[in-house]
């Protein structure tokens, strides 16, 4: 009886331990040529978080999911990125223009996404904001919805131009108050479950919640193809999902609150390579 | 006849008093975060407690706590401590306090409070992401808390 119980306990203990153990030690190389910085020293502003190494969410996924991001022919995001190449050249709005009317090539945006969101004309501006303001002002076109297929495909295409470059968002100067707001949100325990971003992604990354392997919640791979949803997912959509899962009243995609949170979370990834478009579970 | 009626009434009142459910706002915690009084006056049912512990739609305790005795339940979490031996080391009073509101014993703990209805930041309407329409119900009922406590007390090695 005792022996039997102990055996059962041992077997059960072995099961969770087999898939535990935090991030893996694999190396992310895309298309056998671009090596990504997926584990780097945490930025100085994180000195009081207890995290000294920041890590890509890629390290917390299964080998199968990881491999999808290592080859653009297998990366399901690329279907949408290809569509975005078409959107870039598609005329829309009252001015008879496309993106390509003003921008010779999407390649001119290399490096831009690594610095977003950023302050532009006194406003904290995300890539979605930038696209919609150009659509309105240069093209006379209707704004795209935040998480629409068109919007996220183009955000991904522009992000791809920075792939492999280190994230480097500014948090000082006139961005500072927004960064502080985002930081406060990160540590606020929302909803009936009273969970903050930090409860899971700072205190418990590497641990499993049921079948979910908690990452550091980095956004350097967004928009990311999420296998669960089978499409490109925006940063704000993921924020929304997390707050919803606290049994909380979430904020809207494109809200000032989520802009501030995006700046703060992006800054926790400063130094990691831009992985856009990543693949996650 | 009259006497019998009075006796019956007295018995009824006594019965109600014993079985009265303690409302979430009326739960008394000791300075260590224990709850000494049963929330329902009814004994907990360990079998029902096991279901509450394991079900995603109820306590979903297993999302964060591994329990060796629940071999048939997939995917035990790691966020909270393993509870395989908790029935040996914790009293009913401690366990009732922890399940009702663990923050009373462990300040700042990640663990949600399962018998609390106020004091939340942006409470939602379940998992809809929308604002709560009115007062929230506690995550578990008083009897479900008692059932989970009864289940936890059975978690002993050997």
Q: What is the ipTM of this complex?
A: 0.88
Which residues on B lie below 8 Å from A208 (Cβ)? 75-79
Contact indicator for B84, B62 with CB cutoff of 8 Å: no
Closest residue on chain B to A13 (Cα): B68
DSSP annotation of B105: T
Q: Is the pLDDT of residue A5 over 70?
A: no
Contact indicator for B68, A13 with CB cutoff of 8 Å: yes
Which residues, in sequence order, are bridge partners of residue B118? Answer: none
- From the list A8, A203, A250, the residue facing B129 with the nearest CB is A250
Which candidate in A99, A197, A200, A242 is catalytic?
Answer: A242
Q: Is the pLDDT of residue A10 over 60?
A: no
Is B5 among the domain residues? Answer: no
Q: What band does B157 get if pLDDT is binned at 50, 70 and 90?
A: confident
Mutation choice for A interface testing from B53, B54, B79 by most A CBs within 10 A: B79
Which helix (H) or strand (E) is A119 found in, with range? strand A118-120
Q: Is the pLDDT of residue A2 over 80?
A: no
Per-residue b or e along A55-85, where b marks 16 or more CB atoms closer than 10 Å to that residue's CB:
bbbbbbbeeebbebbbeeeebbbbebbebbe
Given the DSSP bridges, would you call strands A34-35 and A29-30 parallel, antiparallel or unpaired? Answer: antiparallel
Q: Is the pLDDT of residue A3 over 80?
A: no
The domain tally of chain B equals 1
**Residue A195 Cα to chain centre, angstroms:** 20
How many angstroms separate the CA of residue A71 from the nearest CA in chain B? 30
A13-22, B36-45, B47-56, range with the lowest pLDDT: A13-22
- In angstroms, rounded to a whole number, what is the distance separating the alpha carbons of residues A1 and A20? 29
For helices A235-244 and A256-267, the axis angle rounded to 10 degrees is 100
Q: Is the pLDDT of residue A161 over 70?
A: yes
Contact A188 B84 (CB under 8 A): no
Q: What band does A20 get if pLDDT is binned at 50, 70 and 90?
A: low
Contact B71 A250 (CB under 8 A): no
Closest residue on chain B to A201 (Cα): B79
Mean pLDDT of B70-83: 96
Mean pLDDT of A234-255: 98
Q: Which of A127 and A4 is assigned the larger pLDDT? A: A127
Q: What band does B19 get if pLDDT is binned at 50, 70 and 90?
A: low
Tokens of A261: 């949170």
- From the list A16, A200, A243, the residue facing B66 with the nearest CB is A16
Share above pLDDT 70 across residues of chain B, in percent, rounded to a whole number = 87
Is there a catalytic annotation at residue A242? yes
pLDDT at position A263: 98
Q: Is the pLDDT of residue A239 over 90?
A: yes
Q: State pLDDT tens for residues A33-92.
A: 999 999 999 999 999 999 999 999 999 999 999 999 999 999 999 999 999 999 999 999
Q: Which of A14 and B117 is assigned the larger pLDDT? A: B117
For residue B29, the enclosing domain spans: 23-119+133-153
> What number of C-beta contacts closer than 8 Å exist between A and B?
103
Which CATH number goes with the domain that contains B44? 1.10.760.10
Domain residue ranges in chain A: 24-281
pLDDT at position B20: 85
A16-20, A97-101, A148-152, A156-160, range with the lowest pLDDT: A16-20
Q: Which residue's entry shows tokens 């059960």?
A: A12
Q: What band does A21 get if pLDDT is binned at 50, 70 and 90?
A: low
Q: What band does A22 get if pLDDT is binned at 50, 70 and 90?
A: confident
Report the top-level CATH class of A24-281.
Answer: mainly alpha
Contact A248 B60 (CB under 8 A): no
Closest residue on chain A to B126 (Cα): A247
How many angstroms separate the CA of residue A208 from the nearest CA in chain B? 5
Residues 33-92 of B with CB under 8 A from A: 56, 60, 62-64, 66, 68, 71, 74-79, 84
Which helix (H) or strand (E) is A176 found in, with range? helix A176-186
Mean pLDDT of B44-49: 98
Which residues on B lie below 8 Å from A203 (Cβ)? 110
Is B7 among the domain residues? Answer: no
Q: What band does A9 get if pLDDT is binned at 50, 70 and 90?
A: very low
Closest residue on chain B to A196 (Cα): B110
């Amino acid at each position: 009886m005792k022996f039997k119980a102990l055996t059962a306990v041992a077997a059960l203990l072995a099961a969770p331990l087999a898939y535990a153990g935090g991030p893996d030690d694999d190396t992310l190389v895309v298309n056998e040529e671009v090596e990504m910085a997926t584990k780097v020293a945490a930025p100085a502003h994180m000195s009081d978080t207890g995290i000294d190494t920041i890590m890509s969410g890629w390290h917390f996924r299964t080998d199968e999911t990881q491999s999808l991001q290592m080859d653009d022919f297998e990366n399901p995001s690329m279907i949408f990125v290809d569509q975005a190449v078409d959107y870039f050249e598609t005329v829309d709005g009252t001015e008879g223009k496309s993106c390509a009317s003003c921008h010779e090539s999407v390649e001119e945006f290399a490096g831009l996404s690594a610095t977003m969101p950023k302050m532009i004309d006194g406003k904290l501006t995300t890539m979605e904001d930038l696209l919609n303001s150009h659509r309105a002002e240069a093209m006379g076109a209707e704004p795209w919805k935040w998480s629409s297929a068109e919007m996220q495909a183009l955000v991904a295409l522009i992000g791809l131009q920075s792939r492999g470059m280190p994230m480097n968002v500014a948090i000082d100067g006139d961005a500072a108050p927004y960064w502080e707001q985002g930081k406060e949100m990160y540590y606020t325990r929302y909803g009936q479950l009273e969970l903050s971003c930090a409860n899971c992604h700072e205190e418990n990354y590497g641990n499993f919640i049921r079948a979910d392997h908690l990452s550091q919640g980095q956004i350097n791979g967004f928009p990311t193809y999420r296998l669960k949803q089978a499409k490109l997912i925006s940063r704000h959509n993921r924020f929304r999902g997390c707050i919803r899962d606290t049994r909380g009243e979430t904020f809207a995609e494109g809200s000032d609150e989520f802009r501030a949170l995006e700046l703060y979370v992006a800054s926790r990834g400063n130094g990691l390579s831009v992985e856009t478009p990543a693949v996650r579970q | 006849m009259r006497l019998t009626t009075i006796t019956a009434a007295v018995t009824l009142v006594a019965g109600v008093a014993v079985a009265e459910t303690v409302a979430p706002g009326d739960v008394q915690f000791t300075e260590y975060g224990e709850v000494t009084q049963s929330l329902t006056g009814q004994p907990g049912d360990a079998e029902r407690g096991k279901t509450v512990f394991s079900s995603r739609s109820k306590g979903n305790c297993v999302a964060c706590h591994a329990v060796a005795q629940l071999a048939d339940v997939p995917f035990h979490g790691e966020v909270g401590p393993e509870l395989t031996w908790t029935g040996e080391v914790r009293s009913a009073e401690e366990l009732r306090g922890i399940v009702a509101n663990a923050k009373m014993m462990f300040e700042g703990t990640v663990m949600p409070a399962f018998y609390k209805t106020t004091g939340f930041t942006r409470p939602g309407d379940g998992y809809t992401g929308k604002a709560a329409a009115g007062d929230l119900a506690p995550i578990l009922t008083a009897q479900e808390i008692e059932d989970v406590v009864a289940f936890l007390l059975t978690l002993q090695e050997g």
